Chains A and B, each alone.
Chain A
C-alpha cells in the first residue's frame, strides 16, 4: 500500500495560513414551495442562509448536518450547479457571478462533483469509456488515441482496468460504479471536488476502499475537497476541518481534532454524542437533544436550535447568534458557548 494519507500531522498540511480556493460570501438559497389547493399558496424553503466560509487549497472541508440542513445545496452552490438567491461564490479569486457563460464553461474544468447514487448518476446506455471521456470532449482536452489513452489511465488510477472502458455501468458493483463516477470527475483535471455523500450508498466492506481512494487522489493531485455526508464517522476520517450545519446555517466550524475533542455548539455536541461508535467502550456523556429539527420553511426566531437546546437562554429565543471566529482557527454561532478569543 502507498504511504498513509494522514491528516493534520504533516507540516505541509493546509492550515489557517493556507489561501482559500473557494469562498462562500453571505451565500443564501431559497426554493419556492407550492402548497395548498392548486398550489396557490407559495412558501419558501430557506435551504442555505447567509453562509460565509472558505475552502482552503489542498484541504478537505467536511460538512455535516442532518437532512434538510442545506449541506448538499451548499455544495451545488459552490460549483454553480444552482444559482444563489443572495451572496456570491469566489473561486480562485474570481467571482462566479461576474463570469460570462463562456468563462464559466471554461472554469467548469476546475470544479467537479461526485454524487451519492452510483446507480442513478451514470448514463446506463453509455459505455464506461464514453462516460469518462465526455468531459474530455466537451473541454477539447484530447481526442482519438490520446483520449482513449487518457481514459484508460484514469480508470487505472481509480482502481479499475483499462478494458473496463468498453463495458456498461450495469456490469459493475456499487463500489466500482462510484470509482467510475470519480474517474469522470477527474477526467477534466479539476482542482476542486464536491463529494456529495460519495460512500453512503455503498456496503460497509466497500466504503473503506473508496474512502482510501479519495485520500490517495487528494495526496497525489493536491485536490481540494468539499465533503458532504450525514455520516460523521466518514467525515471525521477524511477532513482537515469540519463545518456543522443546522437549518441552512453554519453553527460551528473548526479543525477536525478540536471539534471532535470538544465541540462548543450544543448542536455539534448532540450530533457527536449521537454517533453510534462501533465500540462497547463507555460513551462520553453528553446532553441529548429532544424533538425533531424544525421546518426550513419557518425556521424559529433567534437561534434556530433554541427549541431543542438544553442550554437555551432568553436571548437565544429572540436574537440570532452570529458566527464568530476565535482562537484555534474555529468559529461558533452560540450565545451561551462562544468561541474563546
Chain B
C-alpha cells in the first residue's frame, strides 16, 4: 500500500469544457423526502453530465441516491419528495421548470426509462404487442394497424424470436428476459435520445443478463442513444459504461472514465469496494471487507460521510466535508481530502 498523495490543488469541481453540449446535465441537485421520522436528504448536491452517444454508469449501494437521481430526471419522484435545490437539464431545457404537457412529451419521448422488474411495469391483461403499439400510437399518432406493424418491428429490433407470434403473448407467458426486451421495445418505440436504465438486469439470471446487456450495447450504437446505467454491480458497469459516478450516502464521491476508475481508484470507498469483490480469475485468500454499514441518512457522520468506515481517515475528515475536485492529474473527480495515489488496485495490497 502506497502512501496517500498530497492534497490535490484545491479547485472546486470544474465542469467539463463540453458542459454546454451535454445531453443531460444535473447540477447541484438536492432532494429531500418527508417521512414520519423527519426529513431525509436523499440527494445532497449531485452533479452529473452525460454527453451524446455515451454511457454513464451510476454505481452505489442501497440508499446511495443513484435511483433517486434517475427518477428526478423525469420528475417521477413520489409525492413526499421535494427538489430543494439544483437543476436537471435535458438538451439545455430545465426539467424542473417544465410545464406538464412539455414534461409528457419528454417522458417516453426524448427520454425513456426501463426498470429492474419488468413484470410490474407491464399490464398483465394486454398482449405485449398491444402495449408496444399503444406506446407508438401515443407518440407517433399512427393508425392502430400501422402501430401494430411497427410494434412487431420493435419486437424484432429487440431480438425477440418469432416476433409476429410473440406479439400476441401476454406478459405472464414470457420469461423475465423476454419481458425486459419488451420493456426495452416500449422504451425505444419513440426513438429516445436518452435511455435511463435502472438496474435493468438485476432481476435476471446471469446468462440472460449478458444477453440483455449485449442487446442494450448494440441498440445504443445503432440508434445513437445515450444511456444512464444505474446498478449496484461494478461488474456490470466495467464492460458497459464509458464513465462511472460512484454514489455514497447521497453524494457522488468519485467520477471518472471507467478504465481509470478500475485501474486507479482515487476515493478510498471506490478502492475498498473493488477490493471487497470476490473475483473469478484472481483469487484472494481473504476478501478485504469494508467495516461497518451503509450509514443512515438521518444520522450521517460529521465531515466526510465515509470517514467512520475509511482506513485512511484523519482528523480533518471529521470536521471538513470534502468537495469534488480533480483527481489523477485531471482524469476524473474525487471528493476526498486524502485521495489515493492511484496505485494499481488501490488498497488491495
- Which A residues are within 8 Å of any B CB, using their own CB? 1, 4-7, 66-67, 173, 175-176, 203-209, 211-212, 215, 230, 232-234, 236-237, 260, 270-280, 283, 288-293
Contacts and interface: CB of A to CB of B under 8 A. Distances in A.
Contacts of B208: 66, 292
A203 B286 CA distance: 18
A277 B211 contact: no
Nearest to B203: A67
Given A271-B207, A276-B238, A289-B207, A208 B287 contact: yes
B178 interface: yes
A275 B276 contact: no
Contact of A203 (B62, B281, B291): B62
Given A206-B293, A212-B287, A275-B280, 11 more contacts: A1-B286, A4-B285, A5-B286, A205-B276, A208-B278, A208-B288, A276-B213, A276-B239, A277-B279, A277-B280, A283-B239
B87 to A, nearest CB: 30
A7 B278 CA distance: 13
A291 B181 CA distance: 12
Contacts of B291: 209
Contacts of A6: 285-286
A205 B232 CA distance: 10
Contacts, number: 138
Contact of A204 (B207, B232, B259, B284): B232
A250 to B, nearest CB: 18
Contacts of B281: 260, 277, 279
Contacts of B262: 278-280
A280 B259 contact: yes
27 contacts: A7-B283, A66-B206, A173-B293, A203-B232, A203-B294, A204-B61, A204-B233, A204-B277, A205-B61, A205-B273, A205-B293, A206-B294, A208-B278, A209-B291, A230-B206, A232-B280, A237-B284, A260-B281, A274-B206, A274-B209, A279-B281, A280-B239, A280-B259, A280-B262, A288-B210, A289-B207, A292-B177
Nearest to A5: B286
Contacts of B232: 203-204
Contacts of A4: 285-286
B289 interface: yes
Interface of B: 61-62, 161, 175, 177-178, 205-211, 213-214, 232-236, 238-239, 258-259, 262-263, 272-274, 276-281, 283-291, 293-294, 309
Nearest to A2: B286
Contacts of A288: 207, 210-211, 214
Contact of A276 (B236, B283, B289): B236
Given A230-B206, A234-B278, A236-B283, A208 B235 contact: no
Contact of B278 (A206, A211, A276, A289): A211
Nearest to B161: A291
A289 B239 CA distance: 18
A1 B283 CA distance: 18
A6 B283 CA distance: 9
